[in-house]
Amino acid sequence: MTDRDVAPSGKREFPPVAELLPHRGRAVLLDRVLAHDATTTVCSVETSASTLFHDADGGVPATVGLEYMAQTIAAHGGLLDRDAGREARPGFFLGTRRLTLAVTRFEPGQCLEVTATHLRGSTGLLAFDCAIRPAPGAEPMVSGILTVYLLESFEALARDFAEGAAKDSPTDA
């Protein structure tokens, strides 16, 4: 954290979510970071802000909550990387355990609080306990343990794919 991240009130100000995620344009579904520390990040989503996944009535299927939670994990990593003075590293959502959907959809214009808390892992494979609530302290509407794979960089990913492709190529005998 730098001095420019602290508001005159003493509370930390966070950069726009788009600066923390590899997503661009309409793919950025989070509105802003509400809170962050070494283990937990809390973001907000207003369901009417993006029309990307709206149903006919303007609601959003609860399964989109997986992407809200994955983006909150990415924001968490982006903030940690920023605090360490490095570029945000890319990651991939691999799967979820204990997924609970207490609702089938989020209502039009609903404001949601999305929390991601790091459970285990420091490099490569990481697990986060995530939840989406209509308000702080409310019962989760969607929750689960999300597993992600953290890469060192997009360049490393491209290199790994190129090396893998070279190994898989048929050779002339």
Candidates 1.20.58.100, 3.40.50.800, 1.10.3720.10, 3.10.129.10; correct CATH number of 3-168? 3.10.129.10
- Which tokens hold the place of 13? 């100000």
**Apex 23 CA angle, 21 and 24, nearest 5:** 120
- Which tokens hold the place of 11? 């509370």
User: Can you give the residue ranges of every domain in the chain?
Assistant: 3-168
Q: Kindly give the pairing relationship between strand 105-106 and strand 32-36.
A: unpaired
Q: Is 105 left (phi over 0), alpha (psi -120 to 50) or beta?
A: beta
Per-residue pLDDT of the chain (173 residues; tens, 9 = 90+): 444 454 445 578 999 999 999 888 889 999 999 999 999 999 999 998 777 888 888 899 999 999 999 999 999 999 999 999 988 888 899 999 999 999 999 999 999 999 999 999 987 899 999 999 999 999 999 999 999 998 877 777 677 777 766 676 665 54
